[in-house]
Structure 1
Amino acid sequence: MSTGIEIVRTPDILHGKPRIDGTRIGVYTLGAAAESGASVDELLAEYPTLDRPQIEAAIEYYESHPELMDYIRMQKAATEQAIAAETHTPDTDG
């Protein structure tokens, strides 16, 4: 499916992760939501600035680049772990 929707990567937006051109909405966000069971209609409701072809293009890109999406997933998990480690306060009931 070629929709004419561009998926772009620029270093200064979303840290270079793929996104829908003209937006700050990442392919990973939409693809992971779809992979978790969200329908295109649900994504349209959650992201009202997008249209169906944009969401479909993002999902297609997500599915076509599994290694890149796995890398982004690992980066996201590492970031979440680092944040959790920073915000964890030691038990002082000692």
Structure 2
Amino acid sequence: MSITRDEEVLGGEPRIDGTRIGVRHVSARVIDGGRTPAHVADQLGVPLADVYQALSYYYAHVDEMRELEAANETAFERVRESSLQPRETVQ
């Protein structure tokens, strides 16, 4: 397997070829979540080599990955701001 991009899948973010598992998903579990690559491979049902390829891509493109994360956070914030808020309770 390898890391690929396709605008039709995950909005074009890098992912493990043949899956919808993004490089950011893998890095979040290993780097941020403190899981071992073997645990993540088992959890996601992919070969351990794919997890290491995703991590390798992440470290080779750290600036790109940070930009994608920032864009994702901005999009979520926009959704939060525009979503319906619960009514205030009247007492």
State the TM-score, normalized to the length of structure 2.
Answer: 0.84
Q: Write the letter of the residue equivalent to 2:37.
A: V
> Does residue 7 in structure 1 map to residue 25 in structure 2?
no
Aligned equivalents of 1:45 and 1:87: distance in 2? 38
The SS at the match of 1:43 is helix
The SS at the match of 1:24 is coil
Q: Compared with structure 1, are the counterparts of its residues 90 and 81 closer, same or farther at alpha carbon in structure 2 (3 Å cutoff)? A: farther
Cα pair 1:31 1:63 within 8 Å, conserved: no
- How many residues in Structure 1 have an aligned counterpart in Structure 2? 89
Aligned equivalents of 2:23 and 2:47: distance in 1? 14
Q: Give how far 1:67 is off.
A: 1.0
Q: Write the letter of the residue equivalent to 1:93.
A: V
State the TM-score, normalized to the length of structure 1.
Answer: 0.82
Segments ≥4 residues shifted beyond 2 Å? 87-94
Aligned equivalents of 1:87 and 1:74: distance in 2? 23
CA RMSD of aligned residues (A): 1.7
Q: Which residue of 1 aligns with 2:65?
A: 69
Q: Which runs of 5+ in 1 are unaligned?
A: none
Aligned equivalents of 1:74 and 1:87: distance in 2? 23
Identity %: 25
Kindly provide the CA deviation profile for residues 42-71 of structure 1, in whole angstroms up to 9, marking residues without a partner as x. Answer: 2023202x0000011001101110111111
